[in-house]
Structure 1
């Protein structure tokens, strides 16, 4: 089985997305962190983007067009960029009105609450969005997530351009 360059790129994006998503679970447990709703949503988007990218790799390997699943992977990572940027903004400018914990939960909070009931080890939100007490390399986890989503979005965009030109 010889993988072409485009298949390897989708495979790398998929493994990275799933690996980053699972690493966030391990980091949460290992460091006793309390993830918020936006943290969990970013984790979910990273895992979903990874799955879409792996499917794109498999589709490309079979000789079919990876654009539909690759496009979904890129759209998912773009959503991750938006969520991580919003989360970084909440942490940079904390106030009572900007936190993700409010009197009425929005659709993301409600969905994450439901997921937390189904799979608490992966999706239970116990923290506050404006908590930036843990930093790695001087960046909050939301900042790191934003950077990783930008890298994966760029890689997916490049893979889509390459797939389109072949």
Structure 2
């Protein structure tokens, strides 16, 4: 816990931002290497990781007071909540395919429409060509959606630590 006390909030936000963008880069490399077909929910999670990374890096660059630090951390935690719920929904689709409605191209919701628009703007990074219930890639028995669930959870906890608990950790006992 001593190392956490020495970590500045700016460095914490910087590490979170670079980690999120590194995760996107790793996912993209795996996608290309394994020739995976990302689905609309996969792409939406990618967008949330990119947004999380951008806001974390802004939090590292802009002046931080106690209120600013809390606001940045809570904003980042909110993004991770959205990502966690999206990954949980996709995990449910993969575990029990008939239980929830499949992402489809016939009756598109707001996420699919947004991802479709992004795919037209930047197809290399945002083109969705797969089905959300498909488990094309697994590592240690977990799909990409399962891993994303854990990553969003970790990023959310780290953001909450940076926002809410930081001052508690720095106070002497």
TM over 0.5: yes
Query: Scaled by the length of structure 1, what TM-score is found?
Result: 0.90
Q: 1:107-126 to 2 correspondence within 5 Å?
A: 107-126=110-129
Identify unmatched segments of 5+ residues in structure 2.
Answer: 1-5
1:54 to 49, 52, 57: 57
Mapped contact 2:36–2:136 kept (Cα < 8 A): no
Identify unmatched segments of 5+ residues in structure 1.
Answer: none
Q: 1:1-166 to 2 correspondence within 5 Å?
A: 5-59=8-62, 62-64=63-65, 65-95=68-98, 98-101=101-104, 103-162=106-165
Mapped contact 1:14–1:54 kept (Cα < 8 A): yes
Query: Scaled by the length of structure 2, what TM-score is found?
Result: 0.86
Mapped contact 1:6–1:162 kept (Cα < 8 A): no
Q: Following the alignment from structure 1 to structure 2, what is the Cα–Cα distance between the partners of residues 121 and 37?
A: 14
Q: Once superposed, what is the RMSD of the aligned Cα atoms? A: 1.9
Mapped contact 2:72–2:163 kept (Cα < 8 A): no
Equivalenced residue count is 162
